[in-house]
Structure 1
C-alpha cells in the first residue's frame, strides 16, 4: 500500500513538473521550439515533454487564430524560464512579482478546425494524410503560449483578426489584420513558445464512403457521432458492415 501511494505521489510530481495552468487550462511545458498547427508524436520521457514534430501540412487557405495577451504570474514565468533553459535560450526579461506592470505573453489558439481538416484531406497533403493513417497517436498543436518582443506584442494586441499563413515552404507565419487589411506578418519562430496544448484527430467517411479526417478534439477526449480515433478502425467497421 505504501509503495503504491509513493508511486502515485511520484507520478503526480512528475506530471506537475511538465505541465502548467495557463488561463485555467492545462498546457505542457515546451522542451523544444514548437509551432502552432504542426503535427507530431510525444516520446516517453519522465522529466520533460518530448514532442517531436513529424509532419508540417501545406496550408493553401489561411487559418483563423484567436489571441489572448496575458500578464505573467509566478507560475507562468517559472514555466517560461524552464522552457527557455530546455531550449537553450536566455530569458529576455526579468519578472518581479511586486511590480504592478508585469511582462506579457500571448496565447494563440486555432479557431478554425474545419479549414484545417479540409486542408489535410486535400491531395496536396497526401503524404501527411497517409502518415496520419498509419500513426493514430499523432497529435496536432492547437494552442501555444509564446513570448515576443514588446513591440510585437503591442501589434498583436491591436489586431482585429489573426490568421496562420503558409507562404513559405514548411513554415507558418502569423498575419495581423485591421479593418480587414493585412498590416503585419510575424514569423512564429521569432518568439519563444513555452507551453502548448495538443489535440487528436477523429476519422469517418465522406459521401463516397472513403475514410477522411472529420474532427479535431482535445488530446484526452473521445471521438463521437460515429467517428473513430483511427483510420484502421474506420476500415474495420466498413469490413464488418459488408460482412
Structure 2
C-alpha cells in the first residue's frame, strides 16, 4: 500500500512543476506575423490567431533561420492555410519525388530584447498595459512559411536575420551579411502556415511594481516566483495577508 502511495505522491509532485508538452505548431487560418500579440480563437465561423496588439521593435530582434523539407503533414497544413486565405499556391509537393520542396522557419532567438522593449520602452507602454489586463494573450515566437523564388534567394544570401518594426508598424526581416543589411523583407510577403507562441511571466514587487520578466513556451512554467496572471496573484496575496492578520 505504501508503494502505491509514494508512486501517486511522486506523480503529483512532478505535475506541480511540469505542464504537458505541446509538440505541434498551431495551424494558421489567416495571415500572422512574427512578434505580434494575440489569442487563439475558435468559434463556429472562425478559428485561428486573433491579433490584439503589435509591439514596436525599434531595436532589431535576433532570429534563428532554418530550411526544412516538406512532408505530407506539413504540406497538408500549407494547403489548409491556402483554402482559408486569398494567397496563391507557390509550392507543389509530390511524395514520390526524392527531392522535396522546402519550407522555412524563423524563431525569435533573443527573448530578452523582446521583454526589454515591451517592458521598458515608452513606445510600448500601451501594449504592456493591455497585457497586464489580458494575461491570457500570447506572443508569436516561431513561424513556418514559404515564399516566392525572389525572397528565397534573398534569404539564402543571409548570414544573420533580425526582426524590426518599420513604417506604419509593419514587421520586417533584416537580412545581414558581413555585418551589413543586404535585404529588407516585409513579413506580409511570406505565406505563414503554422506558428508557435509563448506566454508572458510577471514579477510582482511591492516597491518596484509589476514587471514583465520573461517569456515561456507552452509546457514551461514561470520561474523564480514569477506568474502568468499578475491580477490573480495580487488578489491571492491580498487574501493571504488578510487571513494572516486575523490571527493577530
TM-score, normalising length: structure 1: 0.83
- In 2, the alpha carbon distance for the partners of 1:71 and 1:220 equals 26
What do residues 191-222 of structure 1 show as CA deviations (whole Å, max 9, x unaligned)? Answer: 11000001111100479521111110113432
- In 2, the alpha carbon distance for the partners of 1:53 and 1:180 equals 33
Question: Which of 32, 35, 41 is the equivalent residue of 2:33?
Answer: 35
Contiguous gaps of at least 5 residues in structure 2: 1-21
- In 1, the alpha carbon distance for the partners of 2:167 and 2:98 equals 40
Distance 1:51 1:176, change over 3 A: same
What do residues 39-98 of structure 1 show as CA deviations (whole Å, max 9, x unaligned)? Answer: 001223479742100100111211001011111111111110111111232312321112
Q: Which residue is 2:218 aligned to?
A: 219
Q: Which residue is 1:127 aligned to?
A: 126
Shift of 1:236: 3.4
SS in 1 for 2:211: strand
Q: Which residue is 1:92 aligned to?
A: 90
Q: Which residue is 2:108 aligned to?
A: 110
Aligned pairs for 1:39-118 within 5 A: 39-45=37-43, 49-118=47-116
Shift of 1:152: 1.7
> Which is greater in Rg?
2
Contact 1:106–1:153 under 8 Å retained in 2:
no
Q: Which residue is 1:187 aligned to?
A: 186
- In 2, the alpha carbon distance for the partners of 1:209 and 1:215 equals 16
Q: Which residue is 1:173 aligned to?
A: 172
SS in 2 for 1:51: strand
SS in 1 for 2:58: coil
Q: How many residues align?
A: 220
